[in-house]
Amino acid sequence: MTTQRACGGRQFGHRARLALTPAQVLLMDGQAHAARTMWNLLHDWWTMLPRDRRSLAAADAAIRQARKEIDWLAHLPAQAAQAVLKTYFQAWRNCWEGRAGAPGFKARFRTVMSVDIPQGRDLCITRVHRRWGMVNIPKIGRVRFRWTKDLPVGKHANAQNRITGARLVKDALGWHIAFRIQTLEPEPEPHTGPEAGIDVGVTVPLALSDGTTYDHHPWLTGKEQAKLLRLEQRAAHRKSLRKPGERTSHRLRTTYDQIAGIRARAKRRHLDWQHKATTAIAAKYSVVVVEDLNITNMVKSAKGTVEMPGKNIAQKSGLNRAISGEAWGRAIAMLTYKTARQGGTLHKVPAPGTSRRCSMCGVTTPGSRESQAVFVCKNPDCGWVGNADHNGARNILHLYRMGLALIPAAGRAVVRRARRVKPATAR
């Protein structure tokens, strides 16, 4: 006898690399600059008008008039222009509700170039063979993209499983397309795997309580690191020759683009490793426990002030770069949704004391953490010696089993609302 599981809707994105010809790259750049300029014109129009004349209909009429009067704004498809308008209004709504600051102008060289395709039916996606697919981009034509994930297209697409739209984004490695996918998936069954605590670090990125470690090699090869150093030195030299107020030269901007390309390659490799590691952890363990770290405070500068200057500034700067490079917050965010998809859960426990407590005897003694990798318990009745990262991971799991898991932010809000409700009194 089989039981039918309930299904739930899921929305996610999938990013793929585009293979554009040089002519198509120029057209895409033109559309992206037109979208950025339309945002700036819309922002200028919005801030100059009185408040009583600001409305969505008036903004839509202004955009239509601008597309008629300015020829190169028509390079942007009409639906993409409407998407700019909706995004601008959503930015103001986020500002009014306290989720973000007020929107401003988008600079030419500091803004991510992007174009939105709001309707999925315009894409007309087909699969060419195992590695490549074809997608239709308005006013560009048919473009090849890297096929790395099965998409709900053709006979596999329906009202519940379909592509609702896409967004074209340009980074240091070229143009990419990010599909917006809506699917209907069965609710996962409860995970029956073991529990695990995870200690994040710099030397060992992920250390688990059962002794498992997830490590990685440097993201750049020796030649790539040497090339990055040469480019950074060249950029610093060319920047020193620039006069105050002078515009950045094309040579310096080209050097900046080369540096950004190498760093983007390292970030892509890091993302690939994080996805693989977190997927393996979510598939194996039913309960994943991590520390509730305030990473923003951990990477603050140690310079101090003029009255109270900091100490070991260079060492702290190197540690801050190492912590930021490991992207602990991104790994925890990946584990959060991946464990939920596998039927497991992720919990956070208080961070203080997890690295100094002995997981064998439970006693915290000064000087037990002799080095970054070795933990030696100074308790005369214990004397346990082991790996410091695994010791911290076991302490993290112990806090969860003792019932010291923190309530998530949404759960705390529910608890606060429940406490404010007064019980009904009998009349």
CATH label of the domain that carries residue 280: 3.30.420
Angle CA(333)–CA(338)–CA(341) in degrees, nearest 5? 135
Specify the higher pLDDT residue, 422 or 276. Answer: 276
Q: Are residues 26 and 123 in the same domain?
A: no
pLDDT in tens, 179-219: 999 888 788 888 888 999 998 888 888 989 888 899 999 99
Q: Are residues 295 and 393 in the same domain?
A: yes
Enter the pTM of the model.
0.82
Q: Are residues 86 and 157 in the same domain?
A: no
Angle CA(136)–CA(142)–CA(145) in degrees, nearest 5? 85
Give the mean pLDDT of 325-353. Answer: 89
Q: Are residues 205 and 295 in the same domain?
A: yes
pLDDT in the model for residue 165: 92
Give the separation between CA 188 and CA 327, rounded to whole angstroms: 28
Residue 298 banded pLDDT, cuts 50, 70, 90 = confident
Q: Which letter does DSSP use for residue 266 in this model?
A: H
- Give the closest residue to 208 by CA, choosing from 277, 265, 261: 277
* Packed helices 78-96 and 22-48: angle between N→C axes, nearest 10 degrees: 50
Do the domain assignments include residue 125? yes
Q: Which letter does DSSP use for residue 135 in this model?
A: E
Q: What percent of the chain has pLDDT over 70?
A: 90
Residue 425 banded pLDDT, cuts 50, 70, 90 = very low
Residue 54 banded pLDDT, cuts 50, 70, 90 = confident
Q: Are residues 272 and 388 in the same domain?
A: yes
Q: Are residues 13 and 128 in the same domain?
A: yes
pLDDT in the model for residue 146: 93
pLDDT value at 3 more than 80: no
Q: Are residues 55 and 13 in the same domain?
A: no
Q: Are residues 309 and 390 in the same domain?
A: yes
pLDDT in the model for residue 305: 60
Where a domain ends, among 111, 127, 159? 111
Q: Does residue 144 contact residue 18 with C-beta atoms inside 8 Å?
A: yes
Do the domain assignments include residue 235? no
Beta bridge partners of 375: 386
Do the domain assignments include residue 13? yes
pLDDT in the model for residue 5: 58
Give the mean pLDDT of 241-270. Answer: 91
pLDDT value at 280 more than 90: yes
With b for 16 or more beta-carbon neighbours within 10 A and e for fewer, the 102-135 pattern comes to ebeebeeeeeebbbbbbebeebebeeeeeeebeb
Give the mean pLDDT of 9-25. Answer: 90
Residue 89 structural domain: 22-111
Where a domain ends, among 73, 94, 111? 111
Specify the higher pLDDT residue, 351 or 178. Answer: 178
Q: Are residues 293 and 405 in the same domain?
A: yes
pLDDT in the model for residue 307: 63
Q: How far is CA 358 from the centre of its chain?
A: 35
Do the domain assignments include residue 28? yes
pLDDT in tens, 359-399: 888 878 877 776 777 888 877 888 778 888 888 888 898 88
Q: Are residues 95 and 142 in the same domain?
A: no
Residue 310 banded pLDDT, cuts 50, 70, 90 = low
Do the domain assignments include residue 242? no
Do the domain assignments include residue 407? yes
Summary mean pLDDT of the chain: 85
Q: Are residues 103 and 172 in the same domain?
A: no
Do the domain assignments include residue 421? no
pLDDT value at 408 more than 70: no
Q: Identity (one letter) of the amino acid at 247?
A: R
pLDDT in tens, 135-182: 999 999 999 999 998 888 877 788 888 899 999 999 988 999 999 998
Q: Are residues 150 and 85 in the same domain?
A: no
Number of domains in the chain: 3
Do the domain assignments include residue 287? yes
pLDDT in the model for residue 133: 92
Residue 424 banded pLDDT, cuts 50, 70, 90 = very low
pLDDT in the model for residue 304: 65
Residue 308 banded pLDDT, cuts 50, 70, 90 = low
Where a domain ends, among 132, 163, 186? 186
